[in-house]
């Protein structure tokens, strides 16, 4: 009888826990007699928690909007406080909207602004448009970095798992170095080659780790998480050594400083290809995770329990790792290396938004956007080789106190 599948068995999409069991703090609401509190009281706690969660989401979302507006109003001629200028928000928004309307009119032949110089219509557009592109890319990459770290920690069930474990970040760096070494100073203007080399190097690294893990695992039907971590660590160490060797070659011809500027991607925000690649990467990596948000909660259970509820835990892990790797790959292509950021933000999101996957996904996206945009606005104020301190370096410094706080004081961030 146990081997017969019932036609009336509920599917996963039909399976729904009662509201009072969805609250991740429900298990803590017990008295000294070790008996559950009444359901009515638990329901009240649950709905109160939901109201608090909505308030937190609203506050962080508003912070993201204000930070984006602040970033849009900045302009700079070089690193350092003295080279940074600020514009009135309404002037910056007016120039951006006017430029967008004129661009649409010109592309569609609508004739809205005939024979008028763009500088006269939107005086700030040469400064505001690239800054708007940089702000948009930073927001999306901040969300992708945080969500990538969350996915790795959920899949590997390890609160200190980082997307750099599988070597993808070092693979991207090697790809960017290859472009710079092959084309020299011309690489600054070769946008397509930048994307081709970086994405190819990152994807090849991930596929190689998957294949090697599959070959050495003892189980024929699945990939061992432990084997994947071992292979990924070896690949990461190897690619790190390769990138350091390539940087040493660049240092002999005094081009390593230019590579840092190239790696920070400060010159790519006026090209349509940039936004096409960014949009495609977000759709391919984030959208599947969003669609699987209900199923991915089941990775918190054992494989047996997940299968009973209709999920395929092995497939979920593979898809999660692939999506997370593409997220970290995309973020590094656009904002440079910031893997420590992807390690720390999920700690903060779990402590602030709770451990349920849907809450984590939203919380990581919002907190990642806000904190990386803060780092972007700060990094240009600190001189480093003429271009400002790398955003990945500053992100590591900013998130270090968060990591210390989360590990020492926030027990919920580990749950």
Mean pLDDT of 334-354: 83
Indicate the pLDDT class of residue 284, thresholds 50, 70 and 90: very high
List the single range of 15-29, 70-84, 112-126, 354-368 with lowest mean pLDDT: 15-29
Query: How far apart are alpha carbons 357 and 47 in whole angstroms?
Result: 18
- Asked if 320 contacts 289 with a C-beta cutoff of 8 angstroms, the reply is yes
Among the listed residues 95, 162, 156, 157, the one whose alpha carbon sits nearest the alpha carbon of residue 130: 95
> What's the DSSP call for residue 221?
T
224: left (phi over 0), alpha (psi -120 to 50) or beta: beta
Structural tokens at position 173: 């760096």
pLDDT band at 71 (very low <50, low <70, confident <90, very high): confident
Q: Torsions phi, psi of 167, nearest 5?
A: 85, 0
Cα–Cα distance measured from residue 244 to residue 104, given in angstroms and rounded to the nearest whole number: 45
Q: What percent of the chain has pLDDT over 70?
A: 79
Angle between helix 191-216 and helix 272-291 axes, rounded to 10 deg: 30
> For position 412, what pLDDT does the model report?
47
- Residue 216 in this model has a pLDDT that exceeds 50: yes
Res. 190 pLDDT band, cuts 50 70 90: confident
pLDDT higher than threshold 60 for residue 121? yes
Average pLDDT over residues 211-217: 80
Backbone angles phi, psi at 269, to 5 degrees: -95, 10
Of 52-61, 135-144, 372-381, give the lowest mean pLDDT range: 372-381
Mean pLDDT of all residues in 158-168? 78
Map tokens 């008295």 to a residue: 31
Tell me which of 50 and 345 has the higher pLDDT. 345
Asked if 243 contacts 174 with a C-beta cutoff of 8 angstroms, the reply is: yes
Using the predicted structure, report yes or no on whether residue 360 has a pLDDT greater than 70.
Answer: yes
Task: Go through 39-49 and write b for each residue having 16 or more CB atoms within 10 A of its CB, e for each that does not.
Answer: eeebeeebeeb
pLDDT, one tens digit per residue, over 36-60 is: 555 555 566 667 777 888 898 999 9
Structure confidence at residue 123 (pLDDT): 79
Question: d(Cα 179, Cα 181) in Å, to the nearest integer?
Answer: 6
| pLDDT higher than threshold 60 for residue 199 | yes
Quote the mean pLDDT of the chain.
Answer: 77
- CB-count exposure of residue 54 (10 Å: 0-12, 13-18, 19+): exposed
pLDDT value at 87 more than 60: yes
Whether 10 has a pLDDT exceeding 80, the answer reads no
Dump strand ranges (E) for 80-225. Answer: 84-86
3-state secondary structure of 66: helix
**R_g of the chain computed on alpha carbons:** 24
pLDDT at residue number 365:
92
Report pLDDT for 27.
44
At 414, is the pLDDT very low, low, confident or very high (cuts 50, 70, 90)? very low
**Which secondary-structure segment (H or E) carries 41?**
helix 39-72
CB 70 within 8 A of CB 374: no
Q: What is the largest CA-CA distance in the chain?
A: 81
Interacting residues of 123 by C-beta distance below 8 A, sequence separation 6+: 91, 95
Nearest to 324 by CA among 202, 176, 192: 202
CA distance 32 to 21: 20
Give pLDDT, residue 46: 66
The single-letter DSSP state of residue 280 is H
Q: In which band, very low, low, confident or very high, does the pLDDT at 170 lie, cut at 50, 70 and 90?
A: confident
Averaged pLDDT, 280-288: 91
Residue 366 clears pLDDT 90, i.e. is over it? yes
Query: Of 66-70, 99-103, 262-266, which gets the smallest average pLDDT?
Result: 262-266
Closest of 310, 330, 332 to residue 15, by C-alpha: 310
**Lowest-confidence pick of 14-23, 116-125, 158-167, 400-409:** 14-23
Q: How far is CA 177 from CA 71, 138, 255, in A?
A: 29, 22, 11
pLDDT at site 11 = 47
Separation CA 296–CA 60 (nearest Å) = 24
Query: What is the mean pLDDT of the segment spanning 78-86?
Result: 66
User: If pLDDT is split at 50, 70 and 90, which confidence band does 211 have?
Assistant: confident
Residue 222 pLDDT: 62
320-348: average pLDDT? 85
Percent of the chain, pLDDT > 90?
10
- Of residues 46 and 27, which shows the higher confidence score? 46
CB-CB contact of 335 with 138 (8 Å)? yes
Q: Give the pLDDT band (50/70/90) at residue 21.
A: very low
């Amino acid at each position: 009888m146990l081997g017969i599948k019932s036609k009336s068995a509920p599917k996963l999409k039909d399976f729904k826990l009662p509201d009072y069991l969805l609250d991740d703090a429900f298990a803590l609401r017990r008295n000294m007699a070790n008996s559950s509190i009444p359901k009515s009281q638990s329901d009240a706690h649950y709905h109160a928690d939901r109201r608090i969660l909505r308030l937190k989401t609203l506050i962080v979302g508003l912070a993201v909007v204000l930070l984006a507006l602040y970033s849009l109003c900045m302009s700079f001629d070089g690193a350092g406080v003295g080279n940074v200028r600020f514009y009135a928000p309404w002037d910056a928004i007016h120039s951006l909207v006017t430029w967008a309307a004129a661009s649409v009119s010109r592309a569609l032949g609508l004739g809205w602004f005939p024979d008028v110089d763009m500088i006269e219509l939107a005086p700030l557009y040469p400064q505001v448009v690239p800054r708007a592109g940089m702000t948009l890319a930073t927001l999306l990459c901040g969300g992708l970095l945080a969500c990538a770290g969350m996915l790795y920690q959920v899949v590997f069930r390890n609160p200190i798992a980082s997307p750099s474990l599988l070597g993808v970040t070092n693979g991207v760096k090697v790809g960017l170095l290859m472009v710079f070494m092959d084309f020299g100073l011309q690489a600054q203007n070769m946008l397509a080659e930048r994307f081709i080399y970086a994405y190819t190097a990152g994807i090849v690294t991930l596929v190689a780790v998957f294949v090697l893990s599959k070959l050495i695992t003892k189980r024929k039907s699945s990939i061992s998480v432990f084997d994947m971590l071992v292979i990924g660590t070896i690949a990461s160490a190897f690619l790190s050594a390769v990138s350091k060797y390539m940087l040493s070659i660049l240092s002999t011809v005094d081009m390593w400083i230019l590579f840092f500027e190239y790696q920070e991607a400060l010159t790519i925000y006026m090209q349509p290809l940039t936004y096409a690649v960014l949009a495609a990467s977000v759709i391919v990596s984030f959208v599947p995770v969003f669609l699987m948000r209900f199923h991915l909660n089941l990775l918190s259970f054992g494989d047996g329990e997940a299968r009973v509820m209709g999920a395929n835990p092995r497939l979920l892990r593979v898809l999660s790792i692939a999506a997370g790797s593409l997220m970290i790959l995309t973020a590094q292509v656009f904002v440079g290396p910031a893997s420590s950021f992807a390690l720390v933000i999920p700690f903060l999101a779990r402590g602030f938004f709770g451990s349920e996957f849907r809450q984590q996904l939203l919380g990581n996206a919002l907190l990642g956007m806000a904190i990386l945009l803060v780092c972007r606005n700060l990094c240009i104020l600190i001189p480093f080789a003429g271009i400002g301190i790398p955003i990945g370096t500053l992100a590591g410094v900013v998130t270090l106190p968060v990591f210390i706080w989360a590990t020492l004081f926030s027990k919920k961030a580990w749950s």
